[in-house]
Amino acid sequence: MQLTHQQACTEAERCLYCFDAPCTQACPVHIDIPKFIAMIKSGNVIGAAEVVKTSHALANICGKVCPEEIFCQSACNRAKQDSPIRIRELHLFATQQEWKRGYSITPAFPKNGRSVAVIGGGPAGLGCAFELVKMGYAVHVYDAKGFGGVPRNSIPSFRLSNDELRSDIEFLSPFVHSHQRLVDTKAFARIREQHDGVFVGIGLGLDKPLGIPGEHLPGVLPVLRFLGRAKMNTAYIGKQVVIVGGGNVSLDAAATATHLGASQVILIYRRSETEMKVWKSELEEAKKRGVQIQFLTIPIEIVGSDGVTGLRCRRTRLSDQHDASGRPVPFEVPGSDFDLDADCIIVAIGQVIQADFVSLFERTSQGFIRVDDSYRTSLDGVFAGGDAIQGEGTIVQSVAHGKAAAHAMHDYLTAETRRAQR
Amino acid sequence: MNIRDIDIYTTRDLSYDFLGLRFENPFILAAAPSTDNLEMVRRAFHMGWAGAILKTTSVEGTRVDLAYPMMSTFNHDGKKLFGMGNIDLISEHHVDKVENNVRMLKKEFPEKIVGASIMAGRKEDWQHLVERLESAGVDFIECSFSCPQGNIGEDPGKMLAQSVVATELTARWVKEAAKRIPISIKITPHVTDILEIARAVKRSGADAITASNSLQALMGIDIRTFVPYPQLNGRSTHSGLTGPAIKPITLKTISEIARNVDIPILGTGGASTWSDAVEFTAVGAGVVQFCTAVMHHGFRIIDDLKSGLSHYLDDMNFTSVTNIHRRALPHLVTHDDLPRCSVRSHINDALCIQCEVCYVACRDGGHIAIDRRPSKIPIVSEERCVGCGLCELVCPVEGCIEMRAPQEFSTVNYTG
């Protein structure tokens, strides 16, 4: 639901117009929220959209799907009086008005004569690319699937329509050179040679397997493949679906499965609701759609001969020990095995980086690319951000990484020039 | 890490000439607390304000006996500062300091417009102030003939701009003393005939009128203690009312002068947004002064003022702010000259939310011309509706009730 003009004005009227506003601080890309809301209030909606887009290259996408409950809205001072301002909806109201009217004209940014490469056309890559464009770089974006990344490949279309995605991409496309090709280790080396700096925003892309018997059976679907097909309307879904996971992607898969007509969708998660790394709103939505959630449950074997017929599960209990994420470690409860009927299993237990050239980088214990505070990788002149450095995050966080990395890269290249001149 | 975002939109040129001066946009700061401090004016200029009129100064030796607290609010419908009251007086700074502020600002910001506001009693004092500030480099001088509190008029308790004779005489003194800079006379709407005063200013040779000062007001009474606001240890006094509450009065004052007297006008009193500024300009203001909105939200409002005005000009296919100037005036006539058109209220059933607010307003304050229905969607009686427009005003839904010309109805009985 989008706000009507009257609703937007009424909501904007509630904004306290705080100075050094906590909502702006809480936004990873630091959109000047009180400023754009005041503009909606004054009737300057296009100005409001420009404020949003000055800070956020993927403004329409985030207006639609940004989890405001963990960012801007969670910090709203108005919540201390009654209820927080519906910031994301006001953001969407403004950017959609601008999109409908036609984009405000942006000037040709002055060129600085240097060329940089961005590998990955998702939020991190595009966030970085546009920031570098603003600073005068010729930016070459490499992605085999074109622009869009996760929002394009796996966010269900009932949450984010192709139009919304396209609107941001149409806005950004004229500014960058697009190279729609796969980057492997050899291509990566060539790209590094050809450009002054490289940003790697390759996301993850490869589903982690369960590593239990029966995973080869037809009917077992890695989640990214499932969501990707659903976006292209080619997804197969069974009647009785069990999803193994516990993150936002698993909720997307659950909602998509109900959407596609599965009569029963069960999500199993090895810990309890408190430990779930999900946005409350999505969890509530999934429950409303009839998704059943079995907490403290792990899969131990996929049952079936020619295809999936069920999933053997085991109960867990949470121990006093905590893992690296600070959450209690689940232990298996002996003798608690039970079977769930299923003709389709969706595996959504996390992802790893797909690109082969990732082996060139120093990595974290979880396999992500290691970066320092300035988003520098272990390779000289190569920066990274987005899911590839921290695992599944949000779009806006990835854009923020991209922006910050762009500035770090600019500082690095400027310093390098100074060194060369000395 | 907080990065300062790089601008991605070109800023439109909003500059134009007024009073022989180049204004980079029509937004300037009125003589008020915001312009009494060098650091504050500097910040405003850096943030994009086109100019500032430094807070009113007077001759050396004038004792400024301020009383605190000096501010009060007129809240309306849950909104703070719908109107703001103040019992402030002129600047406490010695004129030397104000002169120095003018010098510093003109040196640091040669492209910004620096005005000074003055107030005095005797001829030599008025003229001395003009000479000193002109030689300090001020771009224009505004003369406060109308401060609603602490007045220095011909009679105690009366403002200078309430006397035609005193206004003309004093304005003449001021104008005589100015060698090259324009002089604007800041007037009050508290007169029987604003045109008499405006014509007196015109006759004096002064270059412009600033219309208009705050309105005398009593801001409210604490109904438990009966002490009015602002409360100073059990006492209170009248305030000068500013802010959105006085905008319609200012629009009337400006338009009245603009229609009848050929003199440039600096608009002030109740403008808070870019669209208010458009309205002020459309009734004849050459520039628009801001004060209460800045005191409420800070200098940062300039971003929306400039952005909103730029987009408005684009939408209207206007090339300059001057295209707006006086544009509303041809539409403004006397009541006698108004066309007598028949209109009737029309309720859009599809938009109606069944609150029946229009029904009760018409029943008890209109012409008993709206009937109830079981559906709770009211219906207008074409016979009884006279087209006063009250129902449209009270309707909470945008566009639900509109006034339509009779030809849009199938049958209307005019003589009925």
SS (H, E, C) B351-394: CCCCCCHHHHHHHHHCCCCEECCCCCCCEECCCCCCCCCHHHHH
pLDDT value at position B416?
Answer: 37
Q: Which residues of B touch A (CB under 8 A)?
A: 1-3, 5-10, 79, 273-275, 297-298, 300-301, 303-304, 307-308, 310-312, 397-398
Residues of chain B contacting A17 with CB distance shorter than 8 Å: 297
Out of A253-257, A259-263, B56-60, B72-76, pick the least confident.
B56-60
- Write the DSSP symbol of residue B148: S
pLDDT value at position A324?
Answer: 82
At the fourth CATH level, which superfamily is domain A115-205+353-421?
A: FAD/NAD(P)-binding domain (3.50.50.60)
Residues of chain B contacting A107 with CB distance shorter than 8 Å: 8-10
**What is the pLDDT confidence band of residue B396, given thresholds at 50, 70 and 90?**
very high
- Listed as ranges, residues in chain A with pLDDT below 70 are none
Could you tell me which of B384, B304, B154 has the C-alpha nearest to residue A35? Answer: B304
> Distance (Å, rounded) from C-alpha B309 to C-alpha A39?
11
**What is the pLDDT confidence band of residue B328, given thresholds at 50, 70 and 90?**
very high
* Pairing label, strands B79-86, A220-222: unpaired
Count of beta carbons in the 10 Å neighbourhood of residue A418: 9
pLDDT at B155 over 70: no
Out of A101-105, B78-82, B157-161, B312-316, pick the least confident.
B157-161
pLDDT value at position B198?
Answer: 98
Architecture of domain A5-101: Orthogonal Bundle (1.10)
pLDDT at B411 over 50: no
CA distances from A261 to A255, A264, A390, B60, B357 (A): 10, 9, 34, 85, 46
At A345 the three-state DSSP class reads strand
Residue A370: half-sphere exposure toward Cβ, Cα within 13 Å: 11
Residue type, B71: M
Residue type, B328: A
Phi, psi angles (nearest 5°) of residue A408: -65, -40
> Distance (Å, rounded) from C-alpha A24 to C-alpha A33?
6
Q: In which element (H, E) is residue A298 found?
A: strand A297-304
pLDDT value at position A418?
Answer: 84
- B314 CB contacts (<8 Å, ≥6 apart)? B12
pLDDT at B154 over 80: no
- Known catalytic residues of B are 147
pLDDT value at position A419?
Answer: 82
> Distance (Å, rounded) from C-alpha B409 to C-alpha B404?
8
Nearest Cβ partner of B274 from A17, A42, A104? A42
The length of chain A in residues reads 422
Chain A (120-159) residues lying within 8 Å, Cβ to Cβ, of chain B: 131, 134-135
Helix runs in B37-94, H state only:
38-47
Distance from CA of B309 to the nearest CA of A (A): 8
Q: What one-character-per-residue DSSP string does B256-310 give?
A: HHHHH----EEEESS--SHHHHHHHHHTTEEEEEE-HHHHHH-GGGHHHHHHHHH
Q: What is the third-level CATH fold of A209-349? A: FAD/NAD(P)-binding domain (3.50.50)
- A400 CB contacts (<8 Å, ≥6 apart)? A28, A29, A127
Count of beta carbons in the 10 Å neighbourhood of residue B193: 10
- The structural domains of chain A, with segments of one domain joined by +, span 5-101, 115-205+353-421, 209-349
Please, what are the domains in chain B?
A: 16-331 (3.20.20.70), 339-408 (3.30.70.20)
pLDDT value at position B2?
Answer: 61
CA distances from B295 to A40, A105, A187, B71 (A): 21, 33, 59, 11
**What is the pLDDT confidence band of residue B149, given thresholds at 50, 70 and 90?**
low
Asked if the domains A5-101 and A115-205+353-421 are classified in one and the same CATH topology, the answer is no
Could B308 and A42 be called an inter-chain contact, meaning their C-beta atoms sit closer than 8 Å? Answer: yes
